[in-house]
Amino acid sequence: ANVYGIKDWGAGYFDLSNRGEVVVRADFPAGPVEISLMDIISGINDRGMAMPVLLRIENLLDGQISRLNTSFRKAIKTLDYQGTYQGVFPIKVNQQAQVIEEVTRFGARFNHGLEAGSKAELIIALSMIQSTQSLVVCNGYKDEEFIELGLQAVKMGYKCFFVIETPAELPIILRRSKDLGIRPLIGIRLKLSSRAGGHWQDSGGDNSIFGLTTNQMVDVLDTLKAQDMLDCLQLLHYHLGSQIPNIRDIRAAVRETARFYADLVTEGAKMGYIDLGGGLAVDYDGSQTNFIHSKNYSLDEYTTDVIEVLVEIFNDKNIPHPTIITESGRATVAYSSILLFNVLDVNRYEPGTIPSALPENSPELLENLWYVKQNMTLKNVQECYNDAIYYREEIREQFKHGNISLRQRAFADNLFMDIIHRIAASLEKLKRIPPELEGLDEVLYDIYYGNFSVFQSLPDAWAIEQIFPLMPIHRLREQPSRRAILADITCDSDGKIDRFADLHDVRKALPLHDLKAEEEYYLGVFLVGAYQETLGDLHNLLGDTNVVSVRINENGSFDFVREIEGDAIWDVLSYVEYEPKSLVERFRAKAEQAVRDGKITVTDRRNILAAFEASIRGYTYYEK
Ligand code: PLP
């Protein structure tokens, strides 16, 4: 069954077992191996790691790097392209040491390299890259130190390109390379006139903050020519923006860039590399459309289209086919991480028991509301709804004036809730739903409290309303009986998820199962491997989650290859410049004072301090 659209967004990596659990699938020559996420969770629990946990499945990162490279190789062969493909992974998309280590390890067989956007990232790239055959592409604003480091790498035999983003960089590159006697590898970042739809459209187009205008490009050409260094200019780069949903935008950008490339060759630049940046999208909602959370093309269509356009333009102008670089980040790492958390509690918007008669001496407004409830039929739902809203408002108003007591107001609120529930239930029986009543059921959705922080683990869900697939990872053979939105534990009104992936649409509630008394209910947020980890913040001082990395083996087993403990309260306090040790000291002094004042005993003091110490060393999330 395709519950929660898992087959649509799962890209073949996620599916359902006949136990009704989500399984992760890893491909092997002898066939796929499936592992249940519940088995992984039970291993996590056995190891004493608490939820929430960010789970990394290294096979999926391997799988995506393979798919990308294999798809390009296939298209190159089919369309008789004369150059090769050599991707680079943009470090900014997930800088975690473990992720970069995996990218370089799995990428080695394809000479898949790294893209660095800052000095810190260049340091990571130069240390982690496995072979001099893999490329290192330097984007971003570069100072002398950055440039010197890159030049030394070139001297060591690494193909480390400086992509000129602003005209100011060229003089520094020329000066430092002369000083050091090293010929640089230079690229130019293009400001395309093509733009793409989606969240990140400002990365392309005339107003993008990075890239050279055509006039600036001509200046670069002239400067290099004058210094007899045109042979150093070998690469042309653009980045249209991340998550480009429409293949037409991708084709248009490739076409425009190929035209520039051809003219740079004609101008006498040595060239050899065309770098198409990132943008390869992830189908977060599984709709395969040009909706911003999706994409209207498959990986094979992407690679085929790119090559087709290049072949057409270069053959037409008799330009030798360059090496194609892409800087795909999102599509490379999104699949490999899953946020797992348990549900702590549920808040239901349901009326309590309603007595069979109105209490004596009830105010008239309450009598009116009672009357609405007693006299509702299918024919007058709209009228009842209006009346109920009116009387509830009046009752609240009278409460403010002291004419209605807390108990009377509670009774009214309960009555109102009962009426709304009845109306919502009757809507299903109506042929035509009055416009005012549309979306009425939204106020009745449950709130499921999840043990996680949106701000720490899913920052894009909050900042740009990014949709991630979210679903229970077990009990999937049971019909979910509740409709819910999710709240995190930050106590911030923005700390919630109330938009969910649905084919061709965003739905406002997630079907979920009733909680069971003796059993945890686990939810997973999928495709969270790109951008979420370092963009996350310490809102309410909820820190990094525990991270567990798993490798699925060909024989059907799996190993925990790494466990990284998340932040303890001690850690997050020090991030905001407290000295945890001195906090303990201060609190100890307070406890001592309380002993002196006779408020607590020495034994109390010991217990209190023990509790304080246990807290400060504990996990920042809800602990059982
Ligand atoms: N290259 C550059 C220059 C970028 O700025 C980015 C991020 O937006 C990327 C590559 C990665 O893009 P994506 O994650 O869409 O593949």
> Which ligand 1 atom sits closest to the C-alpha of 93?
14
| Residue 536: per-residue pLDDT | 87
The rounded Å distance from CA 461 to ligand 1 centre is 19
Cβ atoms of 620 and 566 within 8 Å: the answer is yes
Cis peptide before 167 (omega within 30 of 0): no
138 is catalytic: no
User: Which among 174, 113, 114, 115 has a CA at the least distance from the CA of 147?
Assistant: 174
Domain 364-441 has CATH 1.20.58.930: yes
Indicate which atom in ligand 1 lies nearest the CA of residue 210. Answer: 3
Q: Tell me, what's the pLDDT at 614?
A: 95
Is the pTM higher than 0.80? Answer: yes
Enter the DSSP assignment of 550.
E
Neighbours of 127 (CB within 10 A): 9
Ligand 1 atom 8: residue of nearest CA: 242
Strands 546-552 and 558-564: antiparallel
Residue ranges of domains in the chain = 364-441, 580-617
> If you take atom 11 of ligand 1, which residue's CA is the nearest one?
278
Look up the ipTM and state it. 0.98
What residues line ligand 1, using a CB cutoff of 6 Å?
Answer: 90, 93, 115, 139, 239, 242-243, 277-280, 327-330, 530
Residue 245 and residue 609: Cα distance in Å, rounded? 55
User: Ligand 1 centre and the CA of 353: distance in Å?
Assistant: 56
Which residues of the chain are under the pLDDT cut of 70?
198-208, 503-505
Tokens representing residue 507 in the block: 């739905």
SS3 388: helix
CA 340–ligand 1 middle distance (angstroms): 26
Q: Please give the pLDDT value at position 52.
A: 98
CA of 530 to the centre of ligand 1 (A): 10
- 569-575 long-range CB contacts below 8 Å, 24 or more apart? 569/541, 569/543, 569/615, 569/616, 569/617, 569/618, 569/619, 569/620, 570/616, 570/617, 571/543, 572/538, 572/541, 572/542, 572/543, 572/620, 573/541, 573/616, 575/538, 575/543
Q: What is the pLDDT of residues 104-149, one digit of tens each?
A: 999 999 999 999 999 999 999 999 999 999 999 999 999 999 999 9
CA angle 400, 401, 403 (to 5 degrees): 105
Nearest to 149 by CA among 114, 113, 173: 173
Which protein residue's CA is at the shortest distance from atom 5 of ligand 1? 239
Q: Decide: helix, strand or coil at residue 588.
A: helix
Ligand 1: which residue has its CA nearest to atom 12? Answer: 278
The number of the ligand 1 atom at minimal distance from the alpha carbon of 237 is 3
